[in-house]
Amino acid sequence: MDRIKIKAVLERVQENSMTVPEALETFTSLPYENLDFAKLDTHRMLRTGFPEVIFCKGKSTAQISEIAKKLADLKQPVIATKASDEIYQAIAGVNGKAVYYDVARIVAIGKIESKKKNKKILVITGGTSDIPIAEEAAVTAELLGGDSVERLYDVGVAGLHRLTGEIQLMNSADAIIVVAGMDGALASVVGGLTRKPVIAVPTSIGYGSSFEGLAALLTMLNSCAPGVAVMNIDNGFGAGHFVARLN
Amino acid sequence: MDRIKIKAVLERVQENSMTVPEALETFTSLPYENLDFAKLDTHRMLRTGFPEVIFCKGKSTAQISEIAKKLADLKQPVIATKASDEIYQAIAGVNGKAVYYDVARIVAIGKIESKKKNKKILVITGGTSDIPIAEEAAVTAELLGGDSVERLYDVGVAGLHRLTGEIQLMNSADAIIVVAGMDGALASVVGGLTRKPVIAVPTSIGYGSSFEGLAALLTMLNSCAPGVAVMNIDNGFGAGHFVARLN
Amino acid sequence: MDRIKIKAVLERVQENSMTVPEALETFTSLPYENLDFAKLDTHRMLRTGFPEVIFCKGKSTAQISEIAKKLADLKQPVIATKASDEIYQAIAGVNGKAVYYDVARIVAIGKIESKKKNKKILVITGGTSDIPIAEEAAVTAELLGGDSVERLYDVGVAGLHRLTGEIQLMNSADAIIVVAGMDGALASVVGGLTRKPVIAVPTSIGYGSSFEGLAALLTMLNSCAPGVAVMNIDNGFGAGHFVARLN
Amino acid sequence: MDRIKIKAVLERVQENSMTVPEALETFTSLPYENLDFAKLDTHRMLRTGFPEVIFCKGKSTAQISEIAKKLADLKQPVIATKASDEIYQAIAGVNGKAVYYDVARIVAIGKIESKKKNKKILVITGGTSDIPIAEEAAVTAELLGGDSVERLYDVGVAGLHRLTGEIQLMNSADAIIVVAGMDGALASVVGGLTRKPVIAVPTSIGYGSSFEGLAALLTMLNSCAPGVAVMNIDNGFGAGHFVARLN
Amino acid sequence: MDRIKIKAVLERVQENSMTVPEALETFTSLPYENLDFAKLDTHRMLRTGFPEVIFCKGKSTAQISEIAKKLADLKQPVIATKASDEIYQAIAGVNGKAVYYDVARIVAIGKIESKKKNKKILVITGGTSDIPIAEEAAVTAELLGGDSVERLYDVGVAGLHRLTGEIQLMNSADAIIVVAGMDGALASVVGGLTRKPVIAVPTSIGYGSSFEGLAALLTMLNSCAPGVAVMNIDNGFGAGHFVARLN
Amino acid sequence: MDRIKIKAVLERVQENSMTVPEALETFTSLPYENLDFAKLDTHRMLRTGFPEVIFCKGKSTAQISEIAKKLADLKQPVIATKASDEIYQAIAGVNGKAVYYDVARIVAIGKIESKKKNKKILVITGGTSDIPIAEEAAVTAELLGGDSVERLYDVGVAGLHRLTGEIQLMNSADAIIVVAGMDGALASVVGGLTRKPVIAVPTSIGYGSSFEGLAALLTMLNSCAPGVAVMNIDNGFGAGHFVARLN
Amino acid sequence: MDRIKIKAVLERVQENSMTVPEALETFTSLPYENLDFAKLDTHRMLRTGFPEVIFCKGKSTAQISEIAKKLADLKQPVIATKASDEIYQAIAGVNGKAVYYDVARIVAIGKIESKKKNKKILVITGGTSDIPIAEEAAVTAELLGGDSVERLYDVGVAGLHRLTGEIQLMNSADAIIVVAGMDGALASVVGGLTRKPVIAVPTSIGYGSSFEGLAALLTMLNSCAPGVAVMNIDNGFGAGHFVARLN
Amino acid sequence: MDRIKIKAVLERVQENSMTVPEALETFTSLPYENLDFAKLDTHRMLRTGFPEVIFCKGKSTAQISEIAKKLADLKQPVIATKASDEIYQAIAGVNGKAVYYDVARIVAIGKIESKKKNKKILVITGGTSDIPIAEEAAVTAELLGGDSVERLYDVGVAGLHRLTGEIQLMNSADAIIVVAGMDGALASVVGGLTRKPVIAVPTSIGYGSSFEGLAALLTMLNSCAPGVAVMNIDNGFGAGHFVARLN
């Protein structure tokens, strides 16, 4: 794309429909919006096929709703993660189409409409407490373009038969997202039962020496079954985005 | 597959061509070879589509060559990772077809022949010292079934133009493996430049507070660009196996 | 047990009282209840002899009381750990037999009635602050089937004579649970004074470089007296469950 | 026993067959041998039922063989762990009955003869590389008094069927020792499949972020299946000693 | 003292003024008070010369005031550390002589009257924020028996001349307590300027990679000037107690 | 300056306008103010050219405003960092000239007037959430003497073109402060794009394995591009002070 | 510079002395040499004013000497760090002008000749063992363009007067590099004594809880004296490069 | 002393037997020897009463023997710690009075003769492997001035009676050094048994999660018995030096 853009400019220079200084200017004026406190990477949609996403932690509600409004005005899909109900209210105040996925804690306006719809994603959790992160992954994948997402929740290794009965379901997916806290052993087990790529998301569920998810993170990184790649602790969004890129 | 096997047994019981005790026996005699010190998971090839791989660290040369021989006798492809030249010699002693990929430190006998050959993998490294791990990933992907692998080495973020000139190459791949040590920042940069899924492998290259790869690992887990999933430190094999599962 | 179940099915197939598809179905319909957000492992009682336990952290009060109700309806004992008074009120609202052990922070409905009652467990704490975790262990052991539990609290190594006077008591137990924070040295001392197996539970009591229980955990793992096995920080439930399995 | 000894002394004082200063002296001369560099706890055999064990790391070969000789002269069983072949040669030089368990790296002279022989221990490993630590556990349990030990090696979770076929074997044991490195997930899986107490031993097998066994250690401490207690990394001896105490 | 006690008992047995069973009983009935939830080590005053101290963290206000009352009733000095104003009020409610040192966060009833009063302690802080911990050390030393304590606060290494002007004061002390957070460098500097033993107390003051006092702790443990021993983070009480033992 | 001071004293001694005891006294009476709880290093302004700065964390509002008042009375510039609005109100109450930079969380009275004004500092952030720390750096540099500070915010590596378009701006600065959380990769990228010294400030923005800024800190310390020096996590003040010293 | 290059190309397109495809080609053919295993960033000299440096760890001697030869052929200065004598011999074999700084462990061919020579750098070490890292910093600064470097070695805080006598020397420098291991307190002390920017380099000298330099690293990051920026452990090269950028 | 020195100079200036420039010079020429690579702090003997000690790690044998020779020539006692036999040979080559304490790994020439000889130090170890560090402490204390040192080795808490029989010995000492690895629990136990100050030295003896002494270090820092101060891991010298300062 960069090449196409440059080529177009070069041709206009060649045919003298654009001066050299104008051309020069073009190269530095890549499309991003200046919001005083934030430079929106509106160019990202073109470059990577995915819009910029608002990570709500550490930003004020006012900042978030202003960014959301700007993106929506530019006809870009809006996705805000780790969003509280208060943040949803603020965004809904500036754009009536805002939707709140409360378990996933995501606010969205619009979504990416994908032409091909063939990838199937399976999201598995070890326990009930892991569901919010799993939903963050599932909703992200759905918003970012047409993945068909199936859920299989609360099937941790303490009751292995809940899992071994679902091998066919696993092998029918194109990729599997495994969300688990505590010992994080679920990722290894799924990786050993199936031939599909596993994206593992450790959660901060647990106590004591789980060290806010560190134990699960290390377990998953050291999976004795190959085929497991790992996201940051509680980073459901990251897993959803990763599988969206498989399309 | 398990269902198919069970179904066949059930049918033979139904038609009385198999007794109940015989049937019972069948369910526990799943195909794995007992080697006294190792139970070969020869069943894995059927279950996951990939053979068991020999991780050489912590095993004696004698053990490794015996496992290799057994697998080869069973007509399964053999892949031994983190293998020294001495190990190669031992395996070559029991099977003349053994090949040594010395940079990747992999010994292989045979490979998986895939019918479809459409996935393209790009392997990128930050520096020269990361190449052995990158080759481990690349050779693994090639052995595990037909991925077409392209290499782009020594293009770390200290000289960004080496990377930005290759955006088209990146977007032409189905998945990108990024191998980097020290600050591990390359994964974030590639993740931000392309729309393809990035599998990041931190290496133990660096010194001082790189803490044998921990710094790069944390950087990659915290990538500000989404679409990056992470493997264990120096786990090139894991990345190669993960992308093979995309087929 | 799995074998017994399979055998029964096989025999029914053999005598044609069950079709092959029906038999096939049987293998995947292992008994667990689907609660939408949680798959209850009601099968666990049969498999391991112990019911599934509700770990309250990270679950909503509504979720907890619904799980509790379901388990109780299935005539299974209910144990909810790390439970606040508010959670107790909710469970009591759906089942009048709920009991609250407030120091242990456990809500229970019913308990496992064991036929043999011969194991004797001794629970020891280093200080007063360790008592809630010790009670969690003691109550768990009592609910899971008939262990006779004795308490010996606040006998830390700073006043060694409180401990050396109780060697006979220690040797009269079948297993000893040691609960201690700060330096966690109590486990080593008890391990050296007695011939009984010691299950050590580090607590998060302490400050500064106790790092929320890490110091006690490491001390216990490195006990210079052998015969000491270790549970997670503050995991009194785990210790109680472990000793119940000794029966 | 302390009480018996004190009682005997008191009675001799009462009957004037011992003076007060003599009696006083008795209380401080508890039976331990002074070896200049080491005070042998020969009293331990009486106190805990188990002899003092020689942990070879950090001691010179000369020191080890001298301690071994002294213990053997006192008719106590000798167990030296983490012993090289060179150490074995030195001990054999001072006592012809020394036996070397080379995989377990244990040198032993004699063993504890137990009257009751009813406990059965099952030792399971995840991989081939974990066997030396598993053998350390198994041999220790056998030497410390009559446990009947069964081995089930190389049945890691990457090939789950190797494990699920052995549930009956697991439930036939009185306690199960699980030895695993890398992700250490095997302990959780065994804990979930069986009703028996599980003693988990993490090993330092693995690489990268396994951090010399830390990953497996944390996994096991955070086991989502209850009933798992944990030993120090590579501490096979500790596990063997723990189960011996169950007798 | 133990010897004296035993000798007395033996003599009474010898002169038949005490029976053997009575004597036997004596040895196990060492003086500690049973408070149901806490066993008071009232014997400690005799054994170590210092009373048991109440560490308030993790105990309820009711428990604390009951322990305080009991100790005071036994005519032992009471010292409660990390005590809030609310705790002071509760203790004052059961004993009118309670005194609150609010900066030090210590509640005391009575103090140890020492005959010899010759030790002089100097307490130094790096900054203003370290003063509460320094006062905890100073007040503890004063209460535990007659140390004469001098304060030199806010003389951190960022303004070295504040410190180098006080070398004479330092050398006039018998021991120096250095309390510092952030980089903790003050301990090394004081250790290098003086010939007196330095007891260093790291505080949790700082931010970012001070990691709640870990940075200062490590600095002090690695002091390039010898003569520095280290207490736990924020453990002013420990330092005060240590210097009291020098008497 | 010390030499000058000493020389002056020596000359006065030589000409007998000062006695030896008086001279002796001079050397120990270096100018610092004693505030009971704080020794103000008013000498620092002379010694280092910069005033003492009030780090508000861990100090009471009363202490802070008293220190501020004292410094202002001595005609020294006042800078209080990590200051809340409440602290600002308190300082404003004792000195009407107090100014509050609310984003930077700095309260200031006066500033250092520098004669030469030639240094130009560029402050860059990766995201919006990093701005408060960046402003702390920028305002500090401005208050400490005449640096001309330019801001370039929200230009993280996920959208690299926002950064590569600003190479000229970077090279026009004398030093660049890079403030970033999450992966902290921005410092490496800026270090590779420019010839100017980079002072990197990791922030605690991020989640999961960012471990409150540790990930960004390690990334920056391991920058594969040379020319990057690192400050403590969230230490914007430190970076601002460092660049002020370049004048 | 990029702008100038682009402008030149555009003008040639405009005047038709270059076709559009040729122009397009130009943008991707930025000057770097392809060495099969390494892409030399020969463009870096133009972009940042500094040549690419060879970090020898993890590269074979053959690779290093080939890279060195290539750089030297391109008339670029060669700097190889962490170089053994063997590596020096190899480089000297391909280029006779190679010089070996053995204490600094640097091999160099040529150096950057700077027009202006006004910056003065002072390198200070805490102990004798820190000298190799200090020399790496000093030699790097000298090779990268004309800094005048002065050394002040072995002046750690254990003997503070060695340091306080050198304040004038410190203030005469433009920047100070402080190299120290163990407690790393030297950086704070120098930062408090002078008005110059301090670049601190922790070394891995020390033992026990110095954790290979971690203690010194944390001390320096938490310096209570402002004006201290920190490099990676043992990264003398980084400090030398940083100060070279001040020119 | 500084004051005395300054006073003498001032008086000579006053009586005109010294010029101002000469006087000025005096203040910076404090007595330390310049050895090119090391500045000997010969002034330390006067300032702190203890000579500079040579820490051999990280220094070449040639450097060590040259420093030793210089110190000996200046009639200062020489103490070199962590010294190998080879280093001893080298020092003995330059000074015939060198003595090698091989267990302690200390080379010494001469010692400090103290007038008063009243302090008694007791050094206790947990095991045989801790003896080298204990001897380093004991020999250091003996060389630094007349402490009378008693040893009590191999009395770890696994055999508590070895320790409880020695309470009188403990209380007869002025200070107790406790040296222990593994769980480090010995320090807490000794602290609780005695009224004397305890200086605890963790050793790197142990394996697995002892993390080279970290477990013992944390245990000792968190001692539930007060009166325990802690040295760096394996820092026997530090403990010996600390108690020497008590004189």
> Looking at residue G212, what is its pLDDT?
84
Q: What is the pLDDT of residues F188-205, one digit of tens each?
A: 999 988 889 999 999 998
User: Partners of E34 in the beta sheet?
Assistant: E39
> Looking at residue G168, what is its pLDDT?
83
One-letter amino acid of B18: M
> Looking at residue A2, what is its pLDDT?
40
Residues shown for chain B: 247
By the 8 A CB rule, do G51 and G71 touch? yes
Contacts of E68 (CB under 8 A, 6+ apart): E54, E78, E80, E91, E94, E95, E98, E107, E109
Put simply, whether B159 touches G (Cβ < 8 Å) is yes
> Looking at residue C229, what is its pLDDT?
94
Q: What is the pLDDT of residues G79-117, one digit of tens each?
A: 999 999 999 999 999 999 999 999 999 999 988 876 666
Put simply, whether G132 touches E (Cβ < 8 Å) is no
Chains F and E touch (3+ CB pairs under 8 A): yes
Nearest CB neighbour to H11, from listed F16, F20, F27: F20
Measured CA to CA, the distance from residue D221 to residue D224 in angstroms comes to 9
Start-to-end C-alpha separation, chain D: 19
Contact call for C13 and B14, based on CB within 8 A:
yes
Query: Which tokens in the block code for residue H231?
Result: 């040295």
Q: How many CB pairs under 8 A join A and C?
A: 64
Question: Is the same domain home to E129 and E223?
Answer: yes
List chain H residues with CB under 8 Å of C178: none
- Is D11 inside any structural domain? no
Q: What is the pLDDT of residues D80-131, one digit of tens each?
A: 999 999 999 999 999 999 999 999 999 999 888 766 666 899 999 998 899 9
Question: Is the same domain home to H202 and H230?
Answer: yes
Question: Is the same domain home to C95 and C133?
Answer: no
Contact call for E24 and D6, based on CB within 8 A:
yes
Confidence band of C161 (pLDDT split at 50, 70, 90): confident
- Is F128 inside any structural domain? yes
By the 8 A CB rule, do D189 and B197 touch? no
Percentage of the residues of chain F whose pLDDT score is greater than 70: 83
Confidence band of F101 (pLDDT split at 50, 70, 90): very high
Question: Is the same domain home to D84 and D146?
Answer: no
**Burial tier of B237 (Cβ tally within 10 Å: 0-12, 13-18, 19+):** buried
> Looking at residue B46, what is its pLDDT?
55
Burial E145-164 (b: 16+ CB within 10 A, else e): bbbebeebbbbbbbbbbbbb
Question: Is the same domain home to D105 and D132?
Answer: no
Put simply, whether H7 touches F (Cβ < 8 Å) is yes
Contact call for A232 and B246, based on CB within 8 A:
no
Measured CA to CA, the distance from residue B202 to residue C175 in angstroms comes to 45
Strand pairing category for H175-180 and H198-202? parallel
- Is D26 inside any structural domain? no
User: Partners of A34 in the beta sheet?
Assistant: A39
Cα A67 from chain centre? 18
Domain end among G62, G81, G109: G109
Q: What is the pLDDT of residues H68-106, one digit of tens each?
A: 998 888 788 899 999 999 999 999 999 999 999 999 999
Measured CA to CA, the distance from residue F179 to residue D72 in angstroms comes to 67
Contact call for D232 and H208, based on CB within 8 A:
yes
Confidence band of E123 (pLDDT split at 50, 70, 90): very high
Measured CA to CA, the distance from residue F31 to residue F46 in angstroms comes to 10
Assign D65 to helix, strand or coil: helix
> Looking at residue F247, what is its pLDDT?
78
Average predicted confidence (pLDDT) for chain F: 84
Put simply, whether F6 touches G (Cβ < 8 Å) is no
pLDDT above 60: residue C28: no
Q: What is the pLDDT of residues B38-50, one digit of tens each?
A: 565 655 565 666 7
Strand pairing category for B175-180 and B198-202? parallel
> Looking at residue A31, what is its pLDDT?
42
Contact call for E30 and C128, based on CB within 8 A:
no
Contact call for E185 and G221, based on CB within 8 A:
no
Q: What is the pLDDT of residues D144-196, one digit of tens each?
A: 876 689 999 988 888 787 787 788 888 889 999 999 999 999 999 999 888 89
> Looking at residue E25, what is its pLDDT?
55
Put simply, whether B156 touches F (Cβ < 8 Å) is yes
Domain end among H109, H137, H171: H109
Measured CA to CA, the distance from residue A135 to residue A139 in angstroms comes to 6
Count other Cβ atoms within 10 Å, centred on residue H116.
8
Q: What is the pLDDT of residues H104-156, one digit of tens each?
A: 999 999 888 766 666 899 999 998 899 999 999 999 999 987 668 999 998 88
Assign B27 to helix, strand or coil: helix
Comparing C100-109, C206-215, F84-93, H92-101, the range with the smallest average pLDDT is: C206-215
Virtual torsion, Cα E224, E225, E230, E233, nearest 10 deg: -60
List chain B residues with CB under 8 Å of D165: 27-28, 30
**Burial tier of A73 (Cβ tally within 10 Å: 0-12, 13-18, 19+):** exposed
**Burial tier of H165 (Cβ tally within 10 Å: 0-12, 13-18, 19+):** middle
Domain, as residue range, for F55: 31-109
Confidence band of B70 (pLDDT split at 50, 70, 90): confident
> Looking at residue E36, what is its pLDDT?
53
How many structural domains comprise chain A? Answer: 2
Put simply, whether B179 touches F (Cβ < 8 Å) is no
CATH number at residue C189: 3.40.50.1970
Domain end among A68, A89, A109: A109
Question: Is the same domain home to E130 and E234?
Answer: yes
Contact call for A218 and D208, based on CB within 8 A:
no
- ipTM, 2 dp: 0.79
Find the closest chain A residue to D156 by CA distance. A224
By the 8 A CB rule, do B206 and B156 touch? no
Contact call for G232 and B129, based on CB within 8 A:
no
> Looking at residue B73, what is its pLDDT?
85
Comparing B43-52, B196-205, H29-38, the range with the smallest average pLDDT is: H29-38
Measured CA to CA, the distance from residue C201 to residue C221 in angstroms comes to 10
Confidence band of B140 (pLDDT split at 50, 70, 90): very high
Q: How many CB pairs under 8 A join F and H?
A: 29
pLDDT above 60: residue B130: yes
Residues 66-105 of E with CB under 8 A from G: none
By the 8 A CB rule, do H52 and H40 touch? yes
Confidence band of G219 (pLDDT split at 50, 70, 90): very high
Q: How many CB pairs under 8 A join F and G?
A: 92
Dihedral (CA of C159, C164, C167, C168) sign: negative
> Looking at residue E105, what is its pLDDT?
95
pTM across the whole model: 0.81
> Looking at residue H163, what is its pLDDT?
83
One-letter amino acid of C82: K
**Burial tier of G111 (Cβ tally within 10 Å: 0-12, 13-18, 19+):** middle
Q: What is the pLDDT of residues F73-96, one digit of tens each?
A: 878 889 999 999 999 999 999 999
Question: Is the same domain home to E209 and E99?
Answer: no
pLDDT above 60: residue H43: no
Average predicted confidence (pLDDT) for chain B: 83
Residues shown for chain H: 247
DSSP 8-state class, residue C173:
S
List chain D residues with CB under 8 Å of B202: 208
Chains B and E touch (3+ CB pairs under 8 A): no
Put simply, whether B127 touches F (Cβ < 8 Å) is yes
CA-based nearest distance G102→chain H, Å: 14
Contact call for C209 and E204, based on CB within 8 A:
no
List chain B residues with CB under 8 Å of G221: none
Provide mean pLDDT across the span E70-77: 84
Nearest CB neighbour to B39, from listed D155, D207, D209: D155
Q: In angstroms, what is the C-alpha Rg of chain E? A: 21
> Looking at residue G32, what is its pLDDT?
43
CA-based nearest distance G44→chain B, Å: 7
- The residue ranking higher by pLDDT, D17 or B174, is B174
Confidence band of C116 (pLDDT split at 50, 70, 90): low
| Residue closest to H129 by CA, chosen among D82, C220, D92, C229 | D82
- Is H5 inside any structural domain? no
Confidence band of E218 (pLDDT split at 50, 70, 90): very high
Question: Is the same domain home to H57 and H153?
Answer: no
A2-14 and G20-28 helices cross at what angle (nearest 10)?
140
Measured CA to CA, the distance from residue B171 to residue B166 in angstroms comes to 9
Put simply, whether A65 touches D (Cβ < 8 Å) is no
Each of the 247 residues of chain A gets a pLDDT tens digit; together they read 344 556 677 777 778 888 776 775 555 433 445 555 556 565 556 566 677 788 998 888 999 999 999 888 878 889 999 999 999 999 999 999 999 999 999 999 988 876 666 689 999 999 889 999 999 999 999 998 766 899 999 888 887 877 877 888 888 899 999 999 999 999 999 998 888 999 999 999 887 888 888 999 999 999 988 899 999 999 999 999 999 988 7
- Is E19 inside any structural domain? no
Contact call for G37 and B205, based on CB within 8 A:
no
List chain A residues with CB under 8 Å of B228: 238, 242
- The residue ranking higher by pLDDT, A214 or H39, is A214
Put simply, whether B225 touches F (Cβ < 8 Å) is yes
Question: Is the same domain home to C192 and C164?
Answer: yes
Contact call for A209 and C204, based on CB within 8 A:
no
Question: Is the same domain home to A39 and A153?
Answer: no
One-letter amino acid of D150: E
Question: Is the same domain home to B79 and B137?
Answer: no
List chain H residues with CB under 8 Å of D82: 207
Cα E117 from chain centre? 17
Name chain E's partners: 3 or more CB pairs within 8 A. Answer: C, D, F, G, H
Q: Give which of H6, H7, H10 to mutate to test F binding, by max F Cβ within 10 Å.
A: H10
List chain F residues with CB under 8 Å of A33: none
Contact call for A14 and G27, based on CB within 8 A:
no
Contact call for E37 and C128, based on CB within 8 A:
yes
CA-based nearest distance B134→chain G, Å: 12
| Residue closest to C234 by CA, chosen among D213, C214, C225, E63 | C214
pLDDT above 80: residue F33: no
- Is H82 inside any structural domain? yes
- Is E99 inside any structural domain? yes
Confidence band of G28 (pLDDT split at 50, 70, 90): very low
Question: Is the same domain home to H74 and H124?
Answer: no
CA-based nearest distance D114→chain E, Å: 32
pLDDT above 60: residue C241: yes
- Alpha carbon distances (Å) from B45 to B63, B71, B110, F146: 21, 11, 14, 70
B236-244 and B131-143 helices cross at what angle (nearest 10)?
30
> Looking at residue H30, what is its pLDDT?
39
Q: Give which of E128, E157, E167 to mutate to test G binding, by max G Cβ within 10 Å.
A: E157
Nearest CB neighbour to E232, from listed C131, C158, C209: C209
- Is E218 inside any structural domain? yes
- For chain A, the DSSP string reads -HHHHHHHHHHHHHTTSS-HHHHHHHHH--S-EE-SS-EE-TTHHHHHSS---EE-TTS-HHHHHHHHHHHHHTT--EEEES--HHHHHHHHHH-TT-EEETTTTEEEES----S----EEEEEESSGGGHHHHHHHHHHHHHTT--EEEEE-S--GGGTHHHHTTHHHHHTSSEEEEEE-TT-THHHHHHHH-SS-EEEEE-S---GGGGGGHHHHHHHHT-SSSSEEE--TT-HHHHHHHHHTT-
Query: Which tokens in the block code for residue D116?
Result: 């009751």
Q: Give which of B50, B164, B245 to mutate to test A binding, by max A Cβ within 10 Å.
A: B245
List chain D residues with CB under 8 Å of E6: 24, 27
